[in-house]
Structure 1
Amino acid sequence: MEQLLFAFLLVIAVQVAGQAQDCLGMAFKSGMNYELTMYNTNDKPIGKIDYQIKDVHKEGGSTVIDIVAKFQDEKGNQREPSTIRYTCTGNELVADMSGLGMGVLGANSKQELKMKTNTIVYPAKLSVGQKLDDGLMEAEMYMDGAPMAQMNMTLLNRQVESQQAVTTPAGSYDTYKITADINYETRVMGIPVRNKMRTVSYRANNMLFDIKSENYDKKGKLTGYTLLSKAN
Protein backbone atom coordinates (compact mmCIF):
# COMPACT_ATOMS: atom_id res chain seq x y z
CA MET A 1 0.00 0.00 0.00
CA GLU A 2 2.99 2.31 0.39
CA GLN A 3 3.42 2.19 -3.41
CA LEU A 4 -0.14 3.34 -3.94
CA LEU A 5 0.28 6.23 -1.52
CA PHE A 6 3.60 7.10 -3.18
CA ALA A 7 1.87 7.26 -6.55
CA PHE A 8 -0.75 9.62 -5.14
CA LEU A 9 1.90 11.94 -3.73
CA LEU A 10 3.62 12.05 -7.11
CA VAL A 11 0.35 13.11 -8.69
CA ILE A 12 0.11 15.97 -6.19
CA ALA A 13 3.60 17.09 -7.15
CA VAL A 14 2.91 17.21 -10.89
CA GLN A 15 -0.79 17.93 -11.25
CA VAL A 16 -1.69 21.40 -12.51
CA ALA A 17 -4.83 23.07 -13.80
CA GLY A 18 -4.92 26.81 -14.33
CA GLN A 19 -7.32 29.55 -15.35
CA ALA A 20 -5.29 31.29 -18.06
CA GLN A 21 -5.78 31.92 -21.76
CA ASP A 22 -2.06 31.41 -22.35
CA CYS A 23 -1.87 28.20 -20.30
CA LEU A 24 0.01 29.57 -17.30
CA GLY A 25 2.06 31.86 -19.53
CA MET A 26 4.27 29.00 -20.70
CA ALA A 27 5.29 28.22 -24.26
CA PHE A 28 5.35 24.42 -24.43
CA LYS A 29 7.54 22.67 -26.99
CA SER A 30 8.98 19.23 -27.59
CA GLY A 31 12.26 18.51 -25.84
CA MET A 32 11.64 20.52 -22.67
CA ASN A 33 12.92 18.61 -19.62
CA TYR A 34 12.21 18.72 -15.90
CA GLU A 35 13.77 16.57 -13.18
CA LEU A 36 12.42 16.10 -9.66
CA THR A 37 14.60 14.50 -6.99
CA MET A 38 13.06 12.82 -3.93
CA TYR A 39 14.77 12.89 -0.53
CA ASN A 40 14.24 11.18 2.81
CA THR A 41 14.32 12.98 6.14
CA ASN A 42 18.12 12.65 6.27
CA ASP A 43 18.45 14.62 3.03
CA LYS A 44 19.51 11.50 1.15
CA PRO A 45 18.28 11.20 -2.46
CA ILE A 46 15.97 8.20 -2.78
CA GLY A 47 14.94 8.57 -6.40
CA LYS A 48 14.48 10.82 -9.39
CA ILE A 49 11.75 11.47 -11.90
CA ASP A 50 12.63 12.83 -15.33
CA TYR A 51 9.82 14.50 -17.27
CA GLN A 52 10.28 15.24 -20.97
CA ILE A 53 7.76 16.88 -23.27
CA LYS A 54 7.61 14.54 -26.25
CA ASP A 55 4.88 16.12 -28.32
CA VAL A 56 2.74 19.23 -28.51
CA HIS A 57 -0.13 19.26 -30.95
CA LYS A 58 -3.63 20.58 -31.57
CA GLU A 59 -6.81 18.56 -31.13
CA GLY A 60 -9.79 20.66 -32.11
CA GLY A 61 -9.53 23.90 -30.19
CA SER A 62 -7.24 22.45 -27.52
CA THR A 63 -3.49 22.05 -27.23
CA VAL A 64 -2.36 18.59 -26.12
CA ILE A 65 0.98 18.10 -24.38
CA ASP A 66 2.33 14.55 -24.02
CA ILE A 67 4.98 14.09 -21.32
CA VAL A 68 7.05 10.96 -20.69
CA ALA A 69 7.96 10.34 -17.03
CA LYS A 70 10.96 8.12 -16.23
CA PHE A 71 11.45 6.87 -12.67
CA GLN A 72 14.82 6.00 -11.18
CA ASP A 73 15.41 4.64 -7.67
CA GLU A 74 18.32 5.43 -5.36
CA LYS A 75 20.39 2.63 -6.95
CA GLY A 76 19.94 4.02 -10.43
CA ASN A 77 17.49 1.34 -11.55
CA GLN A 78 15.10 2.56 -14.22
CA ARG A 79 11.41 1.72 -14.29
CA GLU A 80 9.11 1.48 -17.27
CA PRO A 81 8.34 5.02 -18.56
CA SER A 82 4.88 6.45 -17.95
CA THR A 83 2.90 8.89 -20.05
CA ILE A 84 1.17 11.98 -18.74
CA ARG A 85 -1.09 14.04 -20.98
CA TYR A 86 -1.98 17.67 -20.39
CA THR A 87 -4.82 19.23 -22.36
CA CYS A 88 -4.96 23.01 -22.59
CA THR A 89 -8.45 24.15 -23.55
CA GLY A 90 -7.54 27.83 -23.58
CA ASN A 91 -8.74 28.59 -20.09
CA GLU A 92 -7.73 25.39 -18.32
CA LEU A 93 -4.76 23.02 -18.23
CA VAL A 94 -5.88 19.56 -17.13
CA ALA A 95 -3.62 16.58 -16.43
CA ASP A 96 -4.47 12.99 -17.30
CA MET A 97 -2.42 10.78 -14.97
CA SER A 98 -3.95 7.47 -16.04
CA GLY A 99 -0.64 6.35 -17.54
CA LEU A 100 1.34 7.03 -14.38
CA GLY A 101 0.81 3.73 -12.62
CA MET A 102 3.16 1.39 -14.49
CA GLY A 103 6.19 3.62 -13.98
CA VAL A 104 5.47 3.98 -10.28
CA LEU A 105 4.83 0.32 -9.55
CA GLY A 106 7.56 -1.05 -11.80
CA ALA A 107 7.64 -2.70 -15.19
CA ASN A 108 7.87 -6.21 -13.75
CA SER A 109 5.18 -5.69 -11.16
CA LYS A 110 1.98 -7.70 -11.43
CA GLN A 111 0.21 -4.75 -9.84
CA GLU A 112 -1.64 -2.24 -11.98
CA LEU A 113 -2.73 1.21 -10.85
CA LYS A 114 -5.76 2.86 -12.45
CA MET A 115 -6.70 6.46 -11.70
CA LYS A 116 -10.46 7.02 -11.50
CA THR A 117 -10.83 10.61 -10.34
CA ASN A 118 -8.06 13.17 -10.51
CA THR A 119 -9.08 16.72 -9.62
CA ILE A 120 -6.56 19.19 -8.25
CA VAL A 121 -6.72 22.77 -9.48
CA TYR A 122 -4.24 25.63 -9.14
CA PRO A 123 -5.14 29.09 -10.47
CA ALA A 124 -2.73 30.50 -13.03
CA LYS A 125 -1.73 33.33 -10.69
CA LEU A 126 -1.32 32.86 -6.95
CA SER A 127 -1.53 35.43 -4.17
CA VAL A 128 -0.93 35.33 -0.41
CA GLY A 129 -4.08 34.53 1.56
CA GLN A 130 -5.78 32.89 -1.41
CA LYS A 131 -7.90 29.83 -0.64
CA LEU A 132 -7.84 27.03 -3.20
CA ASP A 133 -10.52 24.49 -4.04
CA ASP A 134 -10.43 21.08 -2.39
CA GLY A 135 -8.81 18.30 -4.38
CA LEU A 136 -9.92 14.71 -4.89
CA MET A 137 -8.14 11.64 -6.23
CA GLU A 138 -9.38 8.08 -6.46
CA ALA A 139 -7.47 5.05 -7.68
CA GLU A 140 -7.77 1.29 -7.83
CA MET A 141 -4.99 -1.28 -7.66
CA TYR A 142 -5.23 -4.64 -9.42
CA MET A 143 -3.15 -7.78 -8.98
CA ASP A 144 -3.05 -10.06 -12.02
CA GLY A 145 -6.15 -8.27 -13.29
CA ALA A 146 -8.16 -8.79 -10.10
CA PRO A 147 -9.17 -5.87 -7.83
CA MET A 148 -6.81 -5.67 -4.87
CA ALA A 149 -7.35 -2.32 -3.19
CA GLN A 150 -8.77 1.14 -3.71
CA MET A 151 -7.67 4.46 -2.34
CA ASN A 152 -9.36 7.81 -1.95
CA MET A 153 -7.41 10.95 -1.13
CA THR A 154 -8.93 14.34 -0.36
CA LEU A 155 -6.99 17.59 -0.10
CA LEU A 156 -8.61 20.03 2.30
CA ASN A 157 -7.89 23.51 3.70
CA ARG A 158 -5.68 24.44 0.78
CA GLN A 159 -4.33 27.93 1.22
CA VAL A 160 -1.53 30.17 -0.03
CA GLU A 161 0.24 31.10 3.20
CA SER A 162 3.22 33.20 2.14
CA GLN A 163 5.59 34.19 -0.62
CA GLN A 164 9.27 33.33 -0.37
CA ALA A 165 12.42 32.62 -2.33
CA VAL A 166 13.40 28.96 -2.75
CA THR A 167 16.71 27.77 -4.16
CA THR A 168 17.11 24.27 -5.61
CA PRO A 169 19.71 22.67 -7.89
CA ALA A 170 17.60 23.98 -10.79
CA GLY A 171 17.93 27.61 -9.68
CA SER A 172 16.31 30.24 -7.47
CA TYR A 173 12.61 30.94 -7.67
CA ASP A 174 10.10 33.35 -6.18
CA THR A 175 7.49 30.91 -4.87
CA TYR A 176 4.19 30.75 -3.05
CA LYS A 177 3.91 28.41 -0.07
CA ILE A 178 0.72 26.34 -0.25
CA THR A 179 -0.42 24.13 2.62
CA ALA A 180 -3.09 21.44 2.60
CA ASP A 181 -4.43 18.67 4.80
CA ILE A 182 -4.72 15.22 3.24
CA ASN A 183 -7.23 12.60 4.32
CA TYR A 184 -6.76 9.22 2.68
CA GLU A 185 -8.54 5.93 2.94
CA THR A 186 -7.29 2.60 1.64
CA ARG A 187 -9.68 -0.31 1.30
CA VAL A 188 -8.30 -3.84 1.10
CA MET A 189 -10.86 -6.65 0.91
CA GLY A 190 -13.46 -4.01 1.77
CA ILE A 191 -11.78 -3.12 5.07
CA PRO A 192 -10.98 0.61 5.34
CA VAL A 193 -7.75 1.97 6.76
CA ARG A 194 -7.82 5.74 7.29
CA ASN A 195 -5.03 8.18 7.95
CA LYS A 196 -4.12 11.84 7.69
CA MET A 197 -1.09 13.80 6.58
CA ARG A 198 -0.12 17.30 5.57
CA THR A 199 1.59 18.59 2.46
CA VAL A 200 3.41 21.85 1.84
CA SER A 201 4.24 22.85 -1.72
CA TYR A 202 6.19 25.78 -3.11
CA ARG A 203 4.99 26.90 -6.51
CA ALA A 204 6.19 29.57 -8.91
CA ASN A 205 3.92 31.24 -11.41
CA ASN A 206 4.50 29.97 -14.94
CA MET A 207 6.17 26.73 -13.79
CA LEU A 208 4.57 23.40 -14.58
CA PHE A 209 5.93 21.52 -11.53
CA ASP A 210 6.32 22.29 -7.85
CA ILE A 211 9.69 23.84 -7.03
CA LYS A 212 9.63 22.02 -3.70
CA SER A 213 7.12 19.83 -1.89
CA GLU A 214 7.18 18.43 1.65
CA ASN A 215 5.10 15.70 3.26
CA TYR A 216 4.34 15.45 6.97
CA ASP A 217 2.58 12.78 8.99
CA LYS A 218 -0.43 13.52 11.19
CA LYS A 219 1.88 14.40 14.09
CA GLY A 220 3.65 17.03 12.01
CA LYS A 221 6.84 15.02 11.44
CA LEU A 222 8.54 15.39 8.07
CA THR A 223 8.43 12.13 6.09
CA GLY A 224 10.18 13.25 2.91
CA TYR A 225 10.43 16.00 0.33
CA THR A 226 10.94 16.63 -3.39
CA LEU A 227 12.99 19.30 -5.18
CA LEU A 228 12.99 20.49 -8.76
CA SER A 229 16.58 19.58 -9.64
CA LYS A 230 16.64 20.43 -13.37
CA ALA A 231 14.56 22.58 -15.68
CA ASN A 232 15.58 22.97 -19.34
Structure 2
Amino acid sequence: MKRSFLLAFFLVTFTSVATYAQTCMGMTLKAGMGCEMITYNAKDKMTGKMTYNVSDVRRDGNNTIVKVDFESADEKGKSTQKSTLTYTCSGNELIADLSGFMQNGQNQAFKDGEVRLKTNRLVYPALSAGQTLPDGKLEADMYNNGSLMVEMTIDMTNRSVGSKESLTVPAGTFDVFKISSDMTVKSKVMGMSIPANLKVVTYRAANTLFDIRSETYNKNGKLYAYTVLSKVF
Protein backbone atom coordinates (compact mmCIF):
# COMPACT_ATOMS: atom_id res chain seq x y z
CA MET A 1 0.00 0.00 0.00
CA LYS A 2 1.36 3.42 -0.92
CA ARG A 3 1.34 5.76 2.08
CA SER A 4 0.47 8.76 -0.12
CA PHE A 5 -2.72 7.07 -1.26
CA LEU A 6 -3.70 6.04 2.26
CA LEU A 7 -3.28 9.61 3.50
CA ALA A 8 -5.26 11.05 0.60
CA PHE A 9 -7.94 8.69 1.16
CA PHE A 10 -8.11 9.19 4.89
CA LEU A 11 -8.47 12.75 3.77
CA VAL A 12 -14.61 8.47 4.32
CA THR A 13 -25.50 -3.80 5.19
CA PHE A 14 -28.17 -3.68 7.73
CA THR A 15 -31.83 -4.70 8.01
CA SER A 16 -33.72 -3.26 5.03
CA VAL A 17 -33.30 -4.52 1.48
CA ALA A 18 -34.97 -1.48 -0.10
CA THR A 19 -32.93 1.40 -1.54
CA TYR A 20 -34.39 4.89 -1.44
CA ALA A 21 -33.54 8.53 -0.75
CA GLN A 22 -33.08 9.69 2.83
CA THR A 23 -32.42 13.10 4.30
CA CYS A 24 -30.07 13.34 7.25
CA MET A 25 -28.12 16.31 8.66
CA GLY A 26 -29.18 18.40 5.67
CA MET A 27 -27.93 15.81 3.17
CA THR A 28 -30.14 14.06 0.65
CA LEU A 29 -28.69 10.57 0.34
CA LYS A 30 -29.68 8.19 -2.45
CA ALA A 31 -28.20 5.42 -4.55
CA GLY A 32 -26.49 6.61 -7.71
CA MET A 33 -25.11 9.84 -6.30
CA GLY A 34 -21.36 10.19 -6.01
CA CYS A 35 -18.27 12.15 -6.84
CA GLU A 36 -14.81 12.09 -8.36
CA MET A 37 -11.72 13.46 -6.61
CA ILE A 38 -8.27 14.15 -8.07
CA THR A 39 -5.07 13.94 -6.02
CA TYR A 40 -1.97 16.06 -6.69
CA ASN A 41 1.49 16.26 -5.20
CA ALA A 42 3.03 19.47 -3.85
CA LYS A 43 4.18 20.40 -7.38
CA ASP A 44 0.59 20.25 -8.70
CA LYS A 45 1.23 17.05 -10.63
CA MET A 46 -1.74 14.68 -10.76
CA THR A 47 -0.98 11.45 -8.90
CA GLY A 48 -4.34 9.69 -8.94
CA LYS A 49 -8.11 9.73 -9.06
CA MET A 50 -10.70 8.49 -6.57
CA THR A 51 -14.35 7.77 -7.37
CA TYR A 52 -17.08 7.38 -4.75
CA ASN A 53 -20.51 6.01 -5.76
CA VAL A 54 -23.41 5.55 -3.32
CA SER A 55 -24.72 2.04 -3.94
CA ASP A 56 -27.28 1.66 -1.16
CA VAL A 57 -29.20 3.80 1.35
CA ARG A 58 -31.09 2.07 4.15
CA ARG A 59 -32.81 2.73 7.46
CA ASP A 60 -31.75 0.81 10.56
CA GLY A 61 -33.86 2.03 13.46
CA ASN A 62 -33.15 5.76 13.85
CA ASN A 63 -30.02 5.63 11.71
CA THR A 64 -29.46 6.01 7.98
CA ILE A 65 -26.88 3.57 6.60
CA VAL A 66 -25.08 4.58 3.41
CA LYS A 67 -22.89 2.15 1.47
CA VAL A 68 -20.34 3.71 -0.87
CA ASP A 69 -18.39 1.90 -3.58
CA PHE A 70 -14.89 3.31 -3.83
CA GLU A 71 -12.31 2.97 -6.60
CA SER A 72 -8.91 4.55 -6.99
CA ALA A 73 -6.77 4.84 -10.10
CA ASP A 74 -3.23 6.02 -10.75
CA GLU A 75 -2.26 9.00 -12.89
CA LYS A 76 -2.58 6.83 -16.02
CA GLY A 77 -6.10 5.74 -15.17
CA LYS A 78 -5.19 2.18 -14.10
CA SER A 79 -7.38 0.90 -11.27
CA THR A 80 -5.39 0.34 -8.07
CA GLN A 81 -8.03 -0.24 -5.37
CA LYS A 82 -11.70 -1.14 -5.03
CA SER A 83 -13.64 -1.33 -1.78
CA THR A 84 -16.96 -0.60 -0.11
CA LEU A 85 -17.22 1.95 2.70
CA THR A 86 -20.08 2.48 5.15
CA TYR A 87 -21.35 5.74 6.63
CA THR A 88 -23.87 5.91 9.48
CA CYS A 89 -25.93 9.07 9.89
CA SER A 90 -27.71 9.29 13.23
CA GLY A 91 -29.24 12.72 12.66
CA ASN A 92 -26.71 14.36 14.97
CA GLU A 93 -23.48 12.96 13.62
CA LEU A 94 -21.95 11.21 10.63
CA ILE A 95 -19.70 8.23 11.40
CA ALA A 96 -17.30 6.99 8.73
CA ASP A 97 -16.53 3.26 8.84
CA LEU A 98 -13.32 2.71 6.84
CA SER A 99 -13.07 -1.04 7.32
CA GLY A 100 -13.96 -1.69 3.69
CA PHE A 101 -10.73 -0.04 2.64
CA MET A 102 -8.76 -2.66 4.57
CA GLN A 103 -10.82 -5.69 3.57
CA ASN A 104 -8.93 -8.84 2.69
CA GLY A 105 -8.53 -9.28 -1.06
CA GLN A 106 -9.44 -5.72 -2.01
CA ASN A 107 -6.11 -4.06 -1.42
CA GLN A 108 -3.65 -5.46 -3.94
CA ALA A 109 -0.72 -5.14 -1.56
CA PHE A 110 -2.39 -7.59 0.85
CA LYS A 111 -4.60 -9.65 -1.47
CA ASP A 112 -3.12 -12.92 -0.17
CA GLY A 113 -3.22 -11.92 3.49
CA GLU A 114 -5.68 -11.07 6.24
CA VAL A 115 -6.45 -7.71 7.83
CA ARG A 116 -7.84 -7.61 11.37
CA LEU A 117 -9.31 -4.28 12.46
CA LYS A 118 -9.15 -3.41 16.14
CA THR A 119 -10.37 0.21 16.20
CA ASN A 120 -12.19 2.06 13.46
CA ARG A 121 -14.06 5.33 13.98
CA LEU A 122 -14.13 8.85 12.57
CA VAL A 123 -17.03 11.11 13.57
CA TYR A 124 -18.33 14.34 12.04
CA PRO A 125 -21.11 16.00 14.07
CA ALA A 126 -23.14 18.87 12.66
CA LEU A 127 -20.42 21.49 12.10
CA SER A 128 -20.14 25.00 13.47
CA ALA A 129 -17.22 27.43 13.77
CA GLY A 130 -15.06 26.98 16.86
CA GLN A 131 -15.96 23.35 17.49
CA THR A 132 -13.53 20.75 18.76
CA LEU A 133 -14.28 17.40 17.13
CA PRO A 134 -13.80 13.94 18.69
CA ASP A 135 -10.51 12.18 18.01
CA GLY A 136 -10.50 9.57 15.25
CA LYS A 137 -8.61 6.28 15.28
CA LEU A 138 -7.89 3.34 12.98
CA GLU A 139 -5.92 0.31 14.18
CA ALA A 140 -5.26 -2.70 12.00
CA ASP A 141 -3.02 -5.77 12.03
CA MET A 142 -2.06 -7.39 8.73
CA TYR A 143 -1.21 -11.08 8.54
CA ASN A 144 0.27 -13.31 5.86
CA ASN A 145 -0.13 -17.06 6.23
CA GLY A 146 -0.93 -16.56 9.91
CA SER A 147 2.14 -14.44 10.64
CA LEU A 148 1.79 -10.83 11.76
CA MET A 149 3.49 -8.68 9.11
CA VAL A 150 2.29 -5.11 9.68
CA GLU A 151 0.76 -3.24 12.63
CA MET A 152 -0.76 0.10 11.68
CA THR A 153 -2.28 2.84 13.84
CA ILE A 154 -3.64 6.14 12.55
CA ASP A 155 -4.69 8.76 15.12
CA MET A 156 -6.54 11.97 14.23
CA THR A 157 -6.27 14.43 17.12
CA ASN A 158 -6.70 18.15 17.83
CA ARG A 159 -9.55 18.33 15.31
CA SER A 160 -10.80 21.91 15.27
CA VAL A 161 -13.35 23.68 13.07
CA GLY A 162 -12.58 27.12 11.66
CA SER A 163 -14.95 29.72 10.29
CA LYS A 164 -17.16 29.16 7.26
CA GLU A 165 -15.71 30.30 3.94
CA SER A 166 -16.37 30.05 0.21
CA LEU A 167 -14.20 27.58 -1.72
CA THR A 168 -14.06 27.03 -5.49
CA VAL A 169 -12.90 23.68 -6.88
CA PRO A 170 -13.39 22.11 -10.33
CA ALA A 171 -16.78 20.74 -9.22
CA GLY A 172 -18.07 24.21 -8.30
CA THR A 173 -18.19 26.72 -5.45
CA PHE A 174 -19.15 25.58 -1.96
CA ASP A 175 -19.64 27.10 1.49
CA VAL A 176 -17.27 25.06 3.64
CA PHE A 177 -15.83 24.69 7.11
CA LYS A 178 -12.07 24.34 7.40
CA ILE A 179 -11.13 21.46 9.73
CA SER A 180 -7.54 21.20 10.98
CA SER A 181 -6.19 17.99 12.52
CA ASP A 182 -3.00 16.33 13.62
CA MET A 183 -2.43 12.89 12.10
CA THR A 184 -0.03 10.38 13.57
CA VAL A 185 0.67 7.29 11.48
CA LYS A 186 2.53 4.45 13.17
CA SER A 187 3.47 1.46 11.06
CA LYS A 188 5.42 -1.49 12.41
CA VAL A 189 6.62 -3.74 9.59
CA MET A 190 8.11 -7.04 10.76
CA GLY A 191 9.14 -5.38 14.01
CA MET A 192 10.55 -2.21 12.41
CA SER A 193 8.71 0.98 13.40
CA ILE A 194 7.96 3.59 10.71
CA PRO A 195 6.32 6.68 12.32
CA ALA A 196 5.02 9.82 10.62
CA ASN A 197 3.55 13.02 12.09
CA LEU A 198 1.41 15.05 9.72
CA LYS A 199 -0.99 17.97 9.59
CA VAL A 200 -4.26 17.51 7.73
CA VAL A 201 -6.66 20.23 6.60
CA THR A 202 -10.02 19.31 5.13
CA TYR A 203 -12.82 21.48 3.81
CA ARG A 204 -16.34 20.15 4.30
CA ALA A 205 -19.71 21.50 3.25
CA ALA A 206 -22.52 21.01 5.76
CA ASN A 207 -24.81 19.28 3.23
CA THR A 208 -22.22 17.10 1.43
CA LEU A 209 -21.10 13.57 2.31
CA PHE A 210 -17.59 13.96 0.88
CA ASP A 211 -14.73 16.40 1.46
CA ILE A 212 -14.51 19.32 -0.98
CA ARG A 213 -10.75 19.59 -0.60
CA SER A 214 -8.11 18.05 1.64
CA GLU A 215 -4.46 18.92 2.20
CA THR A 216 -1.67 16.97 3.91
CA TYR A 217 1.42 18.68 5.35
CA ASN A 218 4.53 17.30 7.00
CA LYS A 219 5.35 18.15 10.61
CA ASN A 220 7.20 21.30 9.46
CA GLY A 221 4.16 22.62 7.61
CA LYS A 222 5.37 21.79 4.09
CA LEU A 223 2.62 20.67 1.70
CA TYR A 224 2.84 16.95 0.91
CA ALA A 225 -0.26 16.34 -1.25
CA TYR A 226 -3.77 17.63 -1.80
CA THR A 227 -7.07 16.38 -3.20
CA VAL A 228 -9.89 18.36 -4.80
CA LEU A 229 -13.48 17.51 -5.69
CA SER A 230 -13.51 17.45 -9.48
CA LYS A 231 -16.98 16.13 -10.30
CA VAL A 232 -20.32 15.52 -8.58
CA PHE A 233 -22.94 13.18 -10.06
- TM category, shorter: 0.7 to 0.9
Amino acid of the structure 1 residue aligned with 2:66: I
Aligned pair 1:122/2:124, yes or no? Answer: yes
Contact 2:117/2:141 (CA < 8 Å) preserved in 1?
yes
CA distance in 2, matches of 1:131, 1:112: 35
Contact 2:185/2:197 (CA < 8 Å) preserved in 1?
A: yes
1:78 aligns with 79
Q: Does the residue aligned with 2:177 lie in a helix, a strand or coil?
A: strand
**SS across alignment from 2:29:** coil
**Could you report, residue by residue, the CA deviation over 1:176-200 in whole angstroms, capped at 9, with x for unpaired residues?**
1111112222122334333311111
Structure 1 Cα separation of the partners of residues 216 and 63 of structure 2 = 34
Instruction: Give the counterpart letter for 1:186 in structure 2.
Output: S
CA distance in 2: counterparts of 1:115 and 1:108, whole angstroms: 14
State the secondary structure of the residue aligned to 2:2.
Answer: helix
- The one-letter code matched in structure 1 to 2:221 is G
* Matched ranges for 1:1-232 at <5 A: 3=2, 6-7=5-6, 9-11=8-10, 13-14=11-12, 23-101=24-102, 105-106=107-108, 109-110=111-112, 113-127=115-129, 129-144=130-145, 146-232=147-233
Q: Distance in 2 between matches of 1:85 and 1:123?
A: 16
Aligned-partner SS, 2:184 = strand
Q: Which amino acid aligns with 2:26?
A: G
Q: Give 3-state SS (helix, strand or coil) of 1:175's partner.
A: strand
Structure with bigger strand share is: 2
Q: Distance in 2 between matches of 1:73 and 1:112?
A: 24
Change (3 A) 1:131 1:91: closer
In 2, are the aligned partners of 1:167 and 1:173 still within 8 Å (CA)? yes
Which runs of no fewer than 5 residues in structure 2 stay unpaired? 13-21
Letter aligned with residue 187 of structure 2 = T
Deviation at 1:30, TM superposition (A): 0.9
How many equivalent residue pairs? 223
Distance 1:218 1:124 in 2: 29
Compared CA separation, residues 205 and 60, structure 1 to 2 (3 A): closer
Change (3 A) 1:23 1:208: same
Deviation at 1:144, TM superposition (A): 4.7
CA contact (8 A) 1:7 1:104 kept: no
Q: Which has the larger displacement, 189-198 or 215-224?
A: 189-198
Deviation for aligned residue 1:134 = 1.9
Alpha-carbon distance between aligned partners in 2 of 1:55 and 1:9, rounded to the nearest angstrom? 24
The answer as to whether partners of 1:105 and 1:112 remain within 8 angstroms in 2 is no
Is the CA contact (8 Å cut-off) linking 1:124 and 1:206 kept in structure 2?
Answer: no
C-alpha distance in 1 between matches for 2:8 and 2:115 = 14
SS at 1:100's partner residue? Answer: helix
CA contact (8 A) 1:3 1:104 kept: no
Q: CA deviation at 1:6?
A: 3.5
- Return the offset for 1:107: 7.8
TM-score, length basis structure 2: 0.84
1:76 counterpart SS class: coil
Report the TM-score, using the length of structure 1 for normalisation. 0.84
Answer whether contact 1:79 1:104 (CA < 8 A) is retained. Answer: no
- CA, structure 1 residues 80+134, in 2 after alignment: closer, same or farther (shift >3 Å)? closer
